[in-house]
Structure 1
């Protein structure tokens, strides 16, 4: 019986080996399944990070509009996101990602169709897994579609009616956005030419900016914004704390926006590239904020917080077209120039009497142009000429269709609230409630 005394010691000696055997179990999963699992996981995590950008846009806009219009902006943001989800499911995803036989017009227009998912309890041994689950890819891409619509919301704030705006969102998310995105991400004609837009400086942000520009021109400026002598009347936002919170939410969401656009996390190379994208995205945002911080101090004698917030966002937009190839130094320079662009473009729009309430056109359109063009600086497979051609082509398509849509809405159901409703606040006119009922209107 004496040998039994050594049994506990033997078990202890074997315990580390048993633990190692449990840890090694995942290696038995075939490589294809492992890559599928990790890439699907990347899409899901990236998708809900980008979803956080919806909160960022809502808070940013709520903070930069006057208190009498806050509830309307919040309503617009949750409504536009929800409409984008439904329209992308009903038609947008099929138009944007047609298969070889799914083009109505090869390279230009994909076919219409409702999105479907994998069956419940997918058996990996009986299916072609592809690179990720269809559900995760669909979920991830929805967020980009909704982001484009969110850009438009802030520019047209404080004077557009709710329902005409939401009608435009239907057109933008169901047709305009997916058609132009198919030209690049769906394997269309611009993709074949070599145009590159890693995560959407043009396809998402400049598209939103062009649509916002068309709407601002058709809609006109807010009453009292521009004087006959060329003066500009500032309309301070209701809550800069909310605007700052919104900027940080957007900054956070951008890691999913750019990092998830690697579209793969099944290898050492892929996951390392994702980390590089995160670092470059962060550097560009910080540089854009600092550039705006310093430049507003030098130009105006005081720091302008709203410029600093938009400087960070412009840095993010600028790095979005190519967040992988730049070094940290290059990413910092790209983002810093984005911040400079905002400081100079915001007053330029005022000179042109284009009323952009939150500065979305400088941030998303102009910084989007910069980011798309400068992608050729670090990516050896990209050329400046093709980048400009792609930007102009997409911009012209989006601007013309958006201008027509806004013009039709204006001529039919009306686009703008009455002067009296604008003066009293859209919250009361459109919703019958206010975000801050205990405070006086301002």
Structure 2
């Protein structure tokens, strides 16, 4: 079986949070393959630990992906502050014989260095056009954990685990290897808290993650972390604001200072993303969708909302509101055909991570979250059928079937973009619905 089919059968997806099926991404030809080792979301600690602990697997998986897309160069992007990890990677690249094909490029410690389009520019000097993807400029981007899973796929191992950081106002900041399908509540309790009553939980990083309204779900292959903070923390209160509240406040308080635009990562790359104009449209002509078309260029990095705006308004929220309305109306932005160049001011408008963390009120929580083995004592897991971009997986088991860890329980629907899903534990299928396969299991140590 070739690399593409091994990756496909193993259910490898983008582990950085997006969840795009990796076999579809690697079914292309590109000049560069890039590894996103920036992990730019504050407080998350997965990728740097994986790079330090499993460099051979990550480098091997990354190189295999590079050869699959016929890349001329494979570049690992990692922040310069991770000096020990960089030294480990340099030594292992040489020892494994992948130099000079695989190289390391040092990234600045700014947010969002891990944004796919920012990463492409930093590593290659190329700018992805508006409404396009890295492949349009000859690049394919994979995450560090994705490369790790590619290496495991080449060994015949499916994706049945994910690595998750628990961080925030908790007794035990930690990074865990979590079986896919583990109840979210069970994972959150590993933080050392005994009750979630006084806490809010952000699914993902503090910038792009969203407030969880329920803790009764199951961990998927693309979960990367949970930020747990007291309910009165600024970040929890800010992310709890709904779109209607954001519009009311924005219409009355936006002073058109344009700070949201001046610090927007996509604007600084030369795109026509100008959040202050979207705020102006929302204030004076809220139903004029044509005047808000550039909202579709928003990457949802949340820098405008959580750092740039001096009045603590919600440009990202407004962009999202317009995006939804345009999607419903079937309206799309048409990019201008031109040569994109970064704004002259870009070099001194990059936002340092430490400054961002301080602005978010997270400095006291910006510490280690060591990868730690734990014992999982559970009776049931739930394998979600939609853990990826594309159509949900098609169940291939039914209630009463015995399954073993690593077994495929959901296949790609014929003619659709998607990825298969596998059980992470032995057990018996108890229920199959349109969204989840529930499996009765015993105790297990991971």
TM range (shorter): under 0.3
Q: TM-score, normalised by structure 2?
A: 0.24
Higher-strand-fraction structure: 2
Query: Which is greater in Rg?
Result: 1
Q: TM-score, normalised by structure 1?
A: 0.25
